[in-house]
Amino acid sequence: MSTLFDSNRLGDLTLPNRVVMAPMSRVRATADGLATPSMATYYAQRATAGLIVTEGVQPSLIGQSNPGTPGLHTDGQVDAWRPVTAAVHANGGRIFAQIMHGGRVSHPDTTGMQPVGPSAVPATGDVFTPAGPRPAPVPRALDTGEVPEHTRSYAEAARRAVDAGFDGVELHGANGYLISQFLSSNANLRTDRYGGSSANRIRFAVEATAATVDAVGGARTGIRLSPGGTFWGVAETEVPELYTALLTELARLEVAYVHLEATIDEHVLLGLRRAWPGTLIVNPTLPMGPKQTGRADADHWLGQGADLISFGRAYIANPDLVERLRLALPVAPVDEATFYQGGDAGYLTYSTYQHAN
């Protein structure tokens, strides 16, 4: 069995270990979606990961979910990302940008526009706005003719990401955002070619991925999925069939990897592992759930056939997480109050492990 510290080939990259820094929103960008010098430091501090996947990056203004998140839809945003990727590469790392279209999980107070989605069905719960949490609004259902504009937005952002120095991109197809909304059976009530059957509900995900592969190549394209997840009120029927059909289409596109979250029973995930012939990243614990991913979780999933393991919250407080895992050193606790507060506290203030003299 491979260990967490063995190298692994991913597309055109050789990863020195199988530890992936999972995407996590930290809302430290400027009001106009520019990456900052602090963000360059933050990611560079964690460059010993086999692969870094950034926080969600909006591919368009209407695709922005939360205030304070970075974008990849203007030339200024591309320029702002270049010092980030350069800092990671200077420290020996590899970094993919996660492209995240929020769909219905947004608010006019954030973007100045009514959110869009597959159907006029609001998300469950409050969304973040510049003035604080607000009830999720009813989105405008996309016309059939508008859908390709939004699939292309992922590809256009991917081109900008490569121009900014990223090694590749990960499409955010999980956690109740736009791709996930199209996969859903309660957020997607469409009766056209994008709704109804599993073949139709996967169409948006496949078209967005295909456009991205055409733009930057399969070796630079991954996708994150949350089978059976219920984030923001989405629900999915026939989960094994839905995701097996999706993975079959993704395999034809020869993408670099699929990144699965543990949002459904393990036996279903193992079935999806068998259905997916390529590189698999597994996030072994429920995002924002009660438990953080640890070494035992990683070893378990490597034994079950995963190729890479993603760690989320543990990476916030442990920039040297790879070495802490390698040497069985204590993993520092994270201060959840600083997740989204902005500023450098709880962002750049976590140190590497201090060995006793």
DSSP readout, 104-169? TS--HHHHSS--EESSS-PPSSEE--TTS-EEPPPPEEPPGGGHHHHHHHHHHHHHHHHHTT-SEE
Closest CA to 217 of 255, 165, 185: 255
Side-chain half-sphere CA neighbours of 258 within 13 A: 30
Residue 54 three-state SS: strand
Residues with Cβ within 8 Å of residue 217, at least 6 apart in sequence: none
Q: How far apart (Å, rounded) are the C-alpha atoms in residues 127 and 97?
A: 23
* Nearest Cα residue to 52 out of 203, 165, 216: 165
Report which of 85, 89, 81, 131 is spatially closest to residue 110, judged by C-alpha positions: 131
Residue with tokens 């560079």: 44
Q: What is the per-residue DSSP string for 245-262?
A: HHHHHHHHHT-SEEEEES
> Is 177 one of the catalytic residues?
yes
For residues 200 and 209, give the distance between their C-alpha atoms in angstroms, rounded to a whole number: 15
Q: What SS3 class is residue 172?
A: strand
Question: Which of these is catalytic: 177, 257, 347, 350?
Answer: 177
Cα separation of 66 and 55, whole Å? 12
Which helix H or strand E contains 224, and what residues bound it? Answer: strand 221-225
Q: Which residues pair with 245 in a beta bridge?
A: none
CA distance 4 to 310: 11
Residue positions annotated with a catalytic role: 177
